[in-house]
Amino acid sequence: MDRWGRRPVLAAGGASGVLGAALATTAVAVGSMGAFVAGLVLMGFANSALQLGRFVAAEVHPPAEKGRAIARVVIGGTVGAVLGPLAAAPMGRWTQRAGLDELVGPYAASAVLFVGVSLVVFVWLRPEPRDLAAALDAQLDAVAPVRGDSRPLGVLVREPAVRAAGLTMMTGQAVMVMLMVITSLHMKHHDHSLGGISFVISSHVVGMYAFSLFSGRLADCWGRPPVIVAGALTLTASCLAAAASPRLVPLAVSLFLLGLGWNFCYVGGSSLLADQLRPGERGRMQGVNDLCIGGVAAAASLGSGLVYAAVGYETMGLVGAVAAFVPAVLALRLRRMPSPEPAFDPTAAVR
């Protein structure tokens, strides 16, 4: 992104998703595990690129608006993310009537959606966000020239706020993934239907995305640490409630709270990280941050299956509740951040 620009990389990420979803669709149809995993890897590449879009939005807004900018990008995933799980069952039935596996339909639909993502980003994401960010940085430097030279990664990760932001997002992601990915299996063992499982996952996704504008506004008005603390406490409550009952409604409420807590930690942590970075540090530090988030999520996904097999769903909830306290401790220890500068329109400088 630093070398080529934001738009080409985001569009290329979407194209990777097209290839991955098409490969996964074919793999399910022919029963190839190797091809299926390869398709998911390509879809993961797409996700890693598109997740950086929240930082792209942040860098073209002044500090006082970064939280809301990030939140708008996060909330953009609401419609598809909610409708996707809800549509899984009918698309599965449609492909079954065609004599194919029920999972062929959802992956085929994903390929079509990734095509739309790539086209929208490449055609309409103009002017190049990197140029808007440069204009904004120039105006901020004219008002208060405190930017300085780019710092090495080793120096950045020793900054208390940078470290707190990264650990907040990693912990929130780990807790969310650990409980969320195993809930469908837990429900299947309790004889819930595919439609019921999809409903619970949809309620979780609503919690993840639908309240993003609210969390972004709170991050700008209250500051980043209070929003992080609220997210950590919500995650804790969700994990404790998850194992209370295997019935549909309690699980839906618990998974909704799990998504909401993740949202507060994700938006608050992303805003806090965006506040700390100078122009030359953004691409690499944000990329390293999301690499760590992805690694933690992968480990939590694998670990959840092992923990579930060994000690069950209830113990997983307790483990998640304990881990969810980490962002709260980090945020409470973080020194008070300086007030953001007054807002202005960065596009005016480019025009």
Show pLDDT as tens, one digit a residue, over the chain (351 residues).
878 888 999 999 999 999 999 999 999 989 899 999 999 999 999 988 988 888 998 888 888 888 999 988 888 766 666 666 666 677 777 777 777 777 888 888 888 889 998 999 999 988 888 888 888 877 766 554 555 667 888 889 889 999 999 999 999 999 999 999 999 888 888 888 878 888 888 889 889 888 888 899 999 998 899 999 999 999 999 999 887 777 888 899 999 999 999 999 999 999 999 888 887 788 889 999 999 998 999 999 988 888 888 888 888 888 899 999 999 999 998 865 554 444 444 444 444
Is the separation of the CB atoms in 334 and 268 below 8 Å?
Answer: no
Is 143 part of any domain?
yes
Q: 75: which 2 tokens?
A: 């909330």
Q: What is the pLDDT of residue 336?
A: 57
Q: Report which DSSP code applies to 341.
A: P
Q: 97: which 2 tokens?
A: 């009537």
Q: What is the pLDDT of residue 80?
A: 67
Crossing angle of the two packed helices 194-209 and 248-276, in degrees rounded to 10: 30
CA distances (Å), 134 to each of 16, 237, 244, 351, in order?
A: 28, 42, 51, 13
Is the separation of the CB atoms in 191 and 299 below 8 Å?
Answer: no
Q: What is the pLDDT of residue 12?
A: 94
Is the separation of the CB atoms in 31 and 52 below 8 Å?
Answer: no
Where do the H-state alpha helices sit in the chain?
6-30, 33-51, 53-59, 66-75, 78-97, 104-124, 129-143, 153-156, 160-189, 194-209, 212-221, 224-242, 248-276, 282-311, 313-323, 325-333, 346-350
Is 1 part of any domain?
no
Question: Does residue 335 sit in helix, strand or coil?
Answer: coil
| Cα–Cα distance for residue pair 319/328, rounded to 1 Å | 16
| Cα–Cα distance for residue pair 190/216, rounded to 1 Å | 37
| Cα–Cα distance for residue pair 326/307, rounded to 1 Å | 20
Residue found under tokens 């990915």: 181
Domain CATH code at residue 67:
1.20.1250.20
Is 226 part of any domain?
yes
Is 182 part of any domain?
yes
| Cα–Cα distance for residue pair 145/278, rounded to 1 Å | 12
Hey, what amino acid is at 160? Answer: P
Number of structural domains found in the chain: 1
Is 115 part of any domain?
yes
Q: What is the pLDDT of residue 115?
A: 93
Question: Does residue 278 sit in helix, strand or coil?
Answer: coil
Is 341 part of any domain?
no
Q: What is the pLDDT of residue 263?
A: 94
Is 224 part of any domain?
yes
Instruction: Give the domain range for residue 141.
Output: 6-336+346-350
| Cα–Cα distance for residue pair 158/171, rounded to 1 Å | 18
Question: Does residue 164 sit in helix, strand or coil?
Answer: helix
Q: 10: which 2 tokens?
A: 């985001």
Q: What is the pLDDT of residue 140?
A: 67
Residue found under tokens 């029963």: 31
Is 308 part of any domain?
yes
| Cα–Cα distance for residue pair 79/70, rounded to 1 Å | 17
Which among 308, 303, 324, 168 is positioned nearest to 258, based on CA atoms? 324
